[in-house]
Amino acid sequence: MPDSAKTTQSRFHQLSFSFRIARRYLFSKKSHNAINIISGISATGVAVGTMALVVVLSVFNGFESLISDMFSAFDPDLKITVKEGKTFEDDSKSFSEVRKLKSVAYFTEVIEENALLRFKDKQMPATVKGVSDEFEKMTRIDSIMYDGKFQLYDGAFERAVPGLGVASILGLGAHFIDPLYIYAPKRTSKINLLRPESSFNQIGTFVSGIFSVQQLQYDDHYVLVSLKLARELFEYDEHTVSAIELKLADNVDPESVQQQIKTILGENFEVKNRYEQQESFFKIMKIEKWITYLILCFILLIASFNIIGSLSMLIIDKKADIETLRNLGANNQLIRRIFLFEGWMISGVGALAGIVLGTIICVLQENFGLLKMGTGYVVEAYPVVTNYTDLLLVLATVLCMGFLAAYYPVRYLKSKTITD
């Protein structure tokens, strides 16, 4: 057998020997009962900290999934905007090619501008979004209708669908007989100082429904109207748009379609997926999640320091065994490895117990909603989504902390004991 193979086999036997002795020390009765108690407290502290990590990360995942579902009812799969400027023409050869892609199910033109709303004696600024007929098929707007129905033209009158916040401020309701007036400054004429009201385009419309995304940036600012009304109000021609919104066909990869459309349109346009459309919001949620993770890791690290006391007392308790192992030929490295495994096993047992308990709590919360949020919230119970990558991250974090906590007594305190 080659020397390298013999060396590898010898190291494996040493690791196996160290692990078996460490396992025996962990579960066997010690001469001092306090060592068992401290070891149990150490494992319990690690388990509680691990369980908290699993539960908190799962709750953050739940909120992220919940809010993502809310946005998906209003946001398209992909949104095309121009990098410089506010509007662009969609009658080019590139956009015709995008329309014909088999991976694109619906192609919706959008005009989006700020305007002034007036209903009776109340008024407020808002964002008017003009959409084409495919908008209802492209989004899940019907699922977020708070009152009335989604209808932008009834065959005789133009209709509007404001957000719940806009409707509350103006005192609107679905099918009110009083019109909602929308004002926008004329782009093609100069301001008349003698008659400033003549410098605005005015269009009256009737409210057919009210939507609620449960997000202030939409509910408190947006009003949906037909694309025809928006072009008339803001004086845009037939092929001028501020954005193109796309719904993709089923069973297609959004990322590959996004890259394909970017290649077709070139560098002058941005193609954003759902995450990128709300990038700042989701980034804030990610930052909150990982800051909470770091805080809990710090608490878990403090709990892991109990391992130092447990190992220190175990080293003193097993002083006779250490001398016996030395007499049998064990070197200091082998003895250090035994107690290092001991500390790692304490953290490992706590980590596995914490992950199991945390997962059970999350599953119960997800299926039965044990912990309620109270009235007035979007959901009754805390949303929970257990992500297995988070479980692996928590396990790796706890094991690393356990190794660091075990290294100090093994490296310093034990070296004095061994040489006595």
Distance in angstroms (rounded) separating the CA atoms of residues 349 and 42: 10
Percent of the chain with pLDDT over 90: 53
Task: State yes or no: pLDDT of 7 exceeds 60.
Answer: no
CB 358, CB 49: distance < 8 Å = no
Q: What pLDDT band is residue 413 in, cutting at 50, 70 and 90?
A: very low
pLDDT at residue 204 in the model? 93
Cα 143 from chain centroid (whole Å): 22
How far, in Å, CA of 354 to CA of 45, rounded? 9
CA distance linking residue 360 with residue 356, whole number of Å: 6
Return the DSSP state at 173.
Answer: -
The runs of H, that is alpha helices, within 28-134 are: 33-72, 93-99
**Ranges 23-32, 46-55, 396-405, most confident:** 46-55
Q: What's residue 214's pLDDT?
A: 87
Average confidence (pLDDT) over 215-222? 92
Give 414's pLDDT tier (boundaries 50, 70, 90). Answer: very low
* Residues near 289 by beta carbon (within 8 Å), at least 6 away in sequence: 57, 60, 64
Q: What is the pLDDT of residue 50?
A: 94
d(CA 375, CA 333): 61
Rounded to 5 degrees, φ, ψ at 208 are: -100, -20
Q: Are 385 and 54 in contact (CB under 8 A)?
A: no
Query: How long a stretch of residues is the chain?
Result: 420
Average pLDDT over residues 5-27: 61
Rg of the chain taking only CA atoms, in angstroms: 33
In terms of Cα–Cα distance, which of 72, 74, 132 is closest to 106?
A: 132
pLDDT for res 80: 96
Per-residue pLDDT tens for 332-389? Answer: 777 777 778 877 888 888 999 999 999 999 999 999 988 888 776 778 889 999 999 9
Nearest alpha-carbon partner for 163 in 201, 137, 124, 121: 124
pLDDT band at 290 (very low <50, low <70, confident <90, very high): very high
What residue ranges in 165-268 does DSSP mark as E strands? 180-185, 200-207, 209-211, 222-226, 240-241, 243-248
Q: What pLDDT digit, counting tens, does each position of 250-268 carry?
A: 899 999 999 999 999 999 9
What are the tokens at 344?
């790692």
Place of tokens 């010898």: 10
Torsion of CA 369, 375, 377, 380, to 10 degrees: 10
With 0.85 as the threshold, say if the pTM is over it. Answer: no
Beta carbons of 170 and 136 less than 8 angstroms apart: no
pLDDT at 418 over 60: no
> Rounded mean pLDDT of 136-143?
88
Distance CA 307, CA 301 (A): 10
Q: Looking at residue 11, what is its pLDDT? A: 63
Torsion 320-325-327-328 (CA) sign: positive
Query: Residue 13: CB partners within 8 Å, gap ≥ 6?
Result: none
